[in-house]
């Protein structure tokens, strides 16, 4: 099939490369000439494991092209996916649909023959209706259907998610779209990927509902972590105990510094605003948003407390700037709030991230970036692990102790154990686990029973 994808950002580029790998012929369109020129030259503007090879192989095979020419790409297409950004609108938190509406108007003038226009962007309920109206008003003679097909791609695992999805949600209002969308995703049928056809408005809500529910799980376990610290319990034991219940599940029950990224913060806020607009407020999601915002700031206070309640004149090393591993995305990352609060409290900050330094330089001021974890830790009064990159999971603490002013580690991802750090002479604090003296005692007891 001939597919055009409008928007060559994260969702558009991953989707385009994967569709091409299925055997479809795909043109990714973007107004950013520099981005298109770079993509055509094989330069990938984002870090996503495996994406560079996938793009290169399909471009070489002639199944994947990049262009700034929307009209030609749409005119040739059987299906046009809209994958433009929908950031939170300044001032009110609603999703900004200006890019979606602009894409709809441009698509309308270029349509030739029966074409499916599919919203891949994350959009509020009713957006498909608006897109349909815009196209019909712009080109009254157009023969088209508007479909909702939300994406469920995890940054760092997007290709696997696209090719081996839990579900494929397709929202339709015109039965002509069913057969075409089934053909688009037919290469996945051997994997028995569940193709779920629902109404267009239901599909639009499913994406927001899914992300908001997962965000609530994170906020819940983070509040449980605070309670665990207060009563000297272990949040990891609690998470495992409740996660073994099949009705709850173990995923998204890792306590930490709060959620960030391009989806959860934006989508929870957009769902809150949509619910308020329709007079059906979602109190749980509203609270999730507030709890998460407070969580990030609270992590800076944890670091300050470990440093004796005052970080003025001290140097804090931050390991991990992206909101999660295996991405270069810093959007709404906990590191932003943590670093800002530490600087406001008078600390100097040194930092390192395996793939986030380019983006970090445009966000953070007065931060010294290290060449690696040990360079960042040089001269530091405390080391804070914010993102659980694999490269931080086996640090050489003997080497760290040599370069740091004070042997203090604040582990916001619970990568290490207090007893292990104590053997290296480090003061150690984690999230939602027993005080280090008690944990060392418990660990000794476990070892004695073995």
Q: Which two tokens stand for residue 98?
A: 């200006």
What is the per-residue DSSP string for 225-255? HHHHHHHT--HHHHHHHHHTSTTT-STT---
Q: Which residue from 1, 51, 56, 52 is spatially nearest to 23, judged by alpha carbons?
A: 1
Q: Number of C-alpha atoms within 13 angstroms, CB side, residue 142? A: 26
What's the sign of the alpha-carbon dihedral 281, 285, 291, 294? negative
SS3 state at 298: helix
Strands (E), 149-301: 168-171, 195-198
**Whether the Cβ atoms of residue 65 and residue 26 lie closer than 8 Å to each other:** yes
**Residue of 145, 228, 263, 307 marked catalytic:** 263
**Whether the Cβ atoms of residue 178 and residue 171 lie closer than 8 Å to each other:** no
Q: Which two tokens stand for residue 186?
A: 């037919």
326-20-77 Cα angle (round to 5): 125
Which secondary structure element, helix H or strand E, spans residue 28, and what is its range?
Answer: strand 25-29
Phi-psi region of 156 (alpha: psi -120 to 50; beta: other; left: phi over 0): left
| 263 is annotated as an active-site residue | yes
**Torsions phi, psi of 19, nearest 5?**
-60, -40
For 32, counting Cβ atoms within 10 Å of its Cβ (0-12 exposed, 13-18 middle, 19+ buried), the class is middle
What is the CB neighbour count within 10 angstroms for residue 291? 18
Q: CA 274, CA 251: separation in Å to the nearest integer?
A: 27
Angle between helices 127-138 and 200-231 (to 10 degrees): 150
Residues noted as catalytic: 263
């Amino acid at each position: 099939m001939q597919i055009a994808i409008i928007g060559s950002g994260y969702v558009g580029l991953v989707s385009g490369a994967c569709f091409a790998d299925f055997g479809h012929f795909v043109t990714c369109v973007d107004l950013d000439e520099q981005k298109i020129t770079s993509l055509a030259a094989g330069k990938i503007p984002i870090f996503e494991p495996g994406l560079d090879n996938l793009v290169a192989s399909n471009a070489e095979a002639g199944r994947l092209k990049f262009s700034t020419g929307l009209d030609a790409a749409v005119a040739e297409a059987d299906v046009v996916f809209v994958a433009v950004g929908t950031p939170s609108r300044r001032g009110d938190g609603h999703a900004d649909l200006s890019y979606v509406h602009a894409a709809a108007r441009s698509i309308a003038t270029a349509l030739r023959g029966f074409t499916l226009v599919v919203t891949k962007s994350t959009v509020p309920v009713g957006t498909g209706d608006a897109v349909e109206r815009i196209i019909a008003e712009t080109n009254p003679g157009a023969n088209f259907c508007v479909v909702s097909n939300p994406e469920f791609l995890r940054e760092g695992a997007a290709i696997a998610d696209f090719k081996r999805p839990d579900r494929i949600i397709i929202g339709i209002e015109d039965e002509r779209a069913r057969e075409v969308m089934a053909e688009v995703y037919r290469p996945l049928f051997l994997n028995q990927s569940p193709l779920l056809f629902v109404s267009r408005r239901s599909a639009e809500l499913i994406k927001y509902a899914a992300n908001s529910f997962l965000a609530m799980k994170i906020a819940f376990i983070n509040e449980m972590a605070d309670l665990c610290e207060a009563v000297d319990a272990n949040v990891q034991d609690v998470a495992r105990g409740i996660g073994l219940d099949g009705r709850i599940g173990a995923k998204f029950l890792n306590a930490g510094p709060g959620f960030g990224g391009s989806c959860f913060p934006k989508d929870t806020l957009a769902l809150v605003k949509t619910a308020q607009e329709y007079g059906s407020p979602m109190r749980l999601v509203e609270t999730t948003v507030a709890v998460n915002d407070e969580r990030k700031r609270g992590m800076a206070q944890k670091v300050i407390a470990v440093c004796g309640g005052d970080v003025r004149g001290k140097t804090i090393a931050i390991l991990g700037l992206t909101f999660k591993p295996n991405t270069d995305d810093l959007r709404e990352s906990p590191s932003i709030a943590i670093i800002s609060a530490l600087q406001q409290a008078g600390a100097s900050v040194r930092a390192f991230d395996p793939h986030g330094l380019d983006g970090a330089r445009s966000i953070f001021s007065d931060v010294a970036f290290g060449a690696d974890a040990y360079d960042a830790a040089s001269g530091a009064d405390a080391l804070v692990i914010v993102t659980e990159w694999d490269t931080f999971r086996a640090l050489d603490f003997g080497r760290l102790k040599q370069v740091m002013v004070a042997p203090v580690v604040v582990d916001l991802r619970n990568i290490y154990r207090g007893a292990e750090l104590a053997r290296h002479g480090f003061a150690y604090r984690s999230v939602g686990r027993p005080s280090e003296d008690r944990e060392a005692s418990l660990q000794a007891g476990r070892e004695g029973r073995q």
